[in-house]
Amino acid sequence: MEPSEPEGEAMLDELKREVFEANRALVDLGLVLLTWGNASAIDRDAGRVVIKPSGVSYDTMKPDDMAVVELDGRPVEGDLKPSVDLPTHLALYEAFLEIGGVVHTHSHYATCFAQARRAIPCFGTTHADYFHGEVPVADPLREPEVVEDYERHIGNVIVRRFRTLDPMRFPGVLAANHASFAWGRTVAKAVENAYVIEEVARMAMHSLQLDPDLRPIPKYLLDKHFLRKHGSGAYY
């Protein structure tokens, strides 16, 4: 049954508050400089997405500033334009039905790996607690994909990268030459996963400096740490 209008408005206001808090958390966690990042969440029952407005300072932003759009990108409410990355977020919501929030940042170490077009190897158990293997990197965009519908094509190449991957076992990706995207069942979880990506990227960078020939964690240890926190047999 559809929620009543006052109930629906209250749910939307709550989602806007959650998205506002997620965007603020990106700054507090050191994942965003200037306006280089955004977070969004989806209300699948209502078919609406709430996202940070484009180019608005995090210092002055308020919950009511959040942009609300339909799943096809049409604006629902708000006087500010949605983030320019909205088409990427929408592509992920359309493809990954389990997710409820998406985060995009240009955090330093994760972006270094993205610019190098290099996946982040899983060298240890910290990484394995969140990703069932390396943080994958999507294919670079071809020139026609950059010239037209650029942001949508970023989402499309990410979705293609996940044809054989479970987005809930790999809750984030590196967009080649660009930066990272993370997601989760909630926008708060997406923020957490974005923070994890940055930290494991930093660990990997320093580990490779100590041992350029370092190999990924053994599969039996990877499986143990990931599956004890995720899946039907989780106990952590």
Show which residues are catalytic. Answer: 129, 236
Indicate if the alpha-carbon torsion angle 174, 199, 51, 61 is positive or negative. Answer: negative
Fill in the amino acid letter for 157: V
Q: Is the Cβ–Cβ distance between 67 and 55 less than 8 Å?
A: no
Q: Is the Cβ–Cβ distance between 170 and 148 less than 8 Å?
A: no
* 3-class secondary structure, 102: strand
Task: Report the distance separating Cα 218 and Cα 221, nearest Å.
Answer: 6
Q: Is the Cβ–Cβ distance between 52 and 113 less than 8 Å?
A: no
